[in-house]
Amino acid sequence: MSDRNQGYLLIILSAVFYSTLGILGKYIYNTGIEMSLVIVLRLFATVILLGLFLLITRKEPLLTFSRAVLFQGIFFIATAITFFLAVKYLSAGLATVILFAHPALVAVLAVIFYHEEIGAAQIVGLILALLGLFFISGLCIESSTALSPLGLILSVLSAVAYGIYALLGQRVVKTDGIWTITFTISLMGLVISALIFPHNLPALLSITPYQLFLGFAMAFLGTILPVVLFLKGVQKIGSSVGTLISIIEIPFALILAYLLLDEVLTPMQVVGTLLILIATTMAVAVKNQKENNERN
């Protein structure tokens, strides 16, 4: 398998594992745990698992103090916090649509900073992906209500933060090991979230074994694997195409929720899923054609 195809596969697998986060989150929220404690627990478990892995295998250094990685860590946790706050003021559907608009931002920034080319087909793919997210969110059938300006600002900030995080990923993988990057980002996230939600550190001592199990499952399946796979994929195909393909996480999450949680899959969500699949296929096809033309 070529490096390019490996990159596509890695990004898709990353999206599959990311899609488990919502399912596991649903299970853990049903135990009565606070959302802020879930953030701290997830990052705490991630640091424990990754730290043990790196200390035992000595595969890579535990930490990196690369300025780019440190900035990436800041934007990683900024995405989680701003999105967490945004859903207090907006519907989860609208907040999610705005967050997953980040591929358009990444595409523009990649042109500016990495001199990547963006063609008409890629623009069409982005539009189809955003339209698919709109259908999936259910916003097209919601009644017209006043939107919170603060919620909109927080959602846009979450999209911008994630876009910059993804863009920095294309740079940091050239200088530091992916496992080291992931541990450093996770540790930074844990420290920052602990400072923002200090009451949750003592609360970790009172969680149940089942909650602890779900926290470690979120860390392994919903954090470590998707982050590592995403960075490896971006290393091979670039951030603009990688982030566009990663939107396929939303259809995967819907399908898992339908299969595991008996949630309803509406016709609009099916249409949105098909649009995202078309956009993903276009992104792969355009990238393949471009690289084939360059070789010829």
pLDDT tens-digit series, residues 177-205: 889 989 999 999 899 888 888 888 788 88
Average the pLDDT over each of 80-84, 137-141, 179-183 and give the range with the smallest value. 137-141
Mean pLDDT calculated for residue range 19-47: 85
What are the pLDDT digits (tens) for 55-74? 898 878 888 888 888 998 89
pTM value is 0.77
- Which carries the bigger pLDDT value, residue 226 or residue 124? 226
The three-state (H, E, C) secondary structure of the chain, written as one string = CCHHHHHHHHHHHHHHHHHHHHHHHHHHHCCCCCHHHHHHHHHHHHHHHHHHHHHHHCCCCCCCCCHHHHHHHHHHHHHHHHHHHHCCCCCHHHHHHHHCCHHHHHHHHHHHHHCCCCCHHHHHHHHHHHHHHHHHHCHHHCCCCCCCHHHHHHHHHHHHHHHHHHHHHHHHCCCCCHHHHHHHHHHHHHHHHHHHCCCHHHHHHHCCHHHHHHHHHHHHHHHHHHHHHHHHHHHHHCHHHHHHHHCCHHHHHHHHHHHHCCCCCCHHHHHHHHHHHHHHHHHHHHHHHHHHHHHC
